Amino acid sequence: MSAAIELAGVVRRLGARRRRVEALSGVDLVVGEGEAVAVVGPSGSGKSTLVGVAGLLDRPQEGRAGAFGVPDVWALPDRERRALRRRFGWVPQDALSSFDPRHTAGRAVADALPAGTGRREAAVRVAELLERVGLDPALAGRRPTGLSGGERQRVALARALAVRPSVLLADEPTSGLDVLAQERVLDLLQAEAHGRTLVMVTHDLRVARRMADRMVVLEDGRPAADVPASIGLEEAERRAPVLAGMIAATP
């Protein structure tokens, strides 16, 4: 199996000089093509930072971020790195703040289509993508604030799919949604992850077990364990004691 993502010794520091935080402290991670990986761990353990680096959005200060056979994407010219980045579709944690409030949902999706897509073709593709995530294409005319949280999250998924990504990256894609909307988004994500690579951050071990083959457990910016998602909760806690809190919160 070839690797979609290959991180080696990744260090990422955040914040201004005096308040520098080492969000990732030497992370090695390989995600094979077609694998589904859940990134779990306590708040502040570096999960979002990890997907930012894995998705080639954020540059590590040390170590290498590789993808699809390129060992160090930050050594590439910008144009080539951007081309690789288009193989990654992002589903953010908070769709509302990820959309431009001045633009309609349709525009948000259309802007993600490959450069050079004509107007007519874009309108057809946007309608197709909205239908694919179970939305009425008429919603394309609404602005983000005129959509429910669940609808916005589905527009975010449509936007991620617009690039026809090989990898889907999702950072807590159901946070803030009610149970029904959560189910809807997870079902859609699961269907779309089929045949693709999925890396998903979640606080919820049930979600991790449902969506992923593997769980990477982060603790203080380092992988503390890498276990099959199907592992029993007791065994998971034995292998990664940092999961105790999350396991206690799992019904």
Ligand X SMILES: Nc1ncnc2c1ncn2[C@@H]1O[C@H](COP(=O)(O)OP(=O)(O)OP(=O)(O)O)[C@@H](O)[C@H]1O
Which spans of this chain sit near ligand X (rule: CB under 6 A)? 14-15, 21, 23, 41, 43-49
CB of 17 to ligand X, least distance (A): 11
Nearest-10 crossing angle of helices 119-132, 149-161: 130
Evaluate whether 109 touches 159 at the Cβ level (below 8 Å). Answer: yes
CB of 240 to ligand X, least distance (A): 14
CB of 244 to ligand X, least distance (A): 16
Of residues 45 and 197, the one with the C-beta less far from ligand X? 45
| DSSP-assigned beta bridge partners for residue 79 | none
Of residues 21 and 124, the one with the C-beta less far from ligand X? 21
For residues 48 and 45, give the distance between their C-alpha atoms in angstroms, rounded to a whole number: 9
From the list 196, 244, 245, 210, the residue with the least C-alpha distance to 33 is 196
Of residues 45 and 104, the one with the C-beta less far from ligand X? 45
Of residues 140 and 216, the one with the C-beta less far from ligand X? 216
For residues 251 and 91, give the distance between their C-alpha atoms in angstroms, rounded to a whole number: 26
| DSSP-assigned beta bridge partners for residue 31 | 5
CB of 42 to ligand X, least distance (A): 7
In the complex, residue closest to ligand X by CB: 15
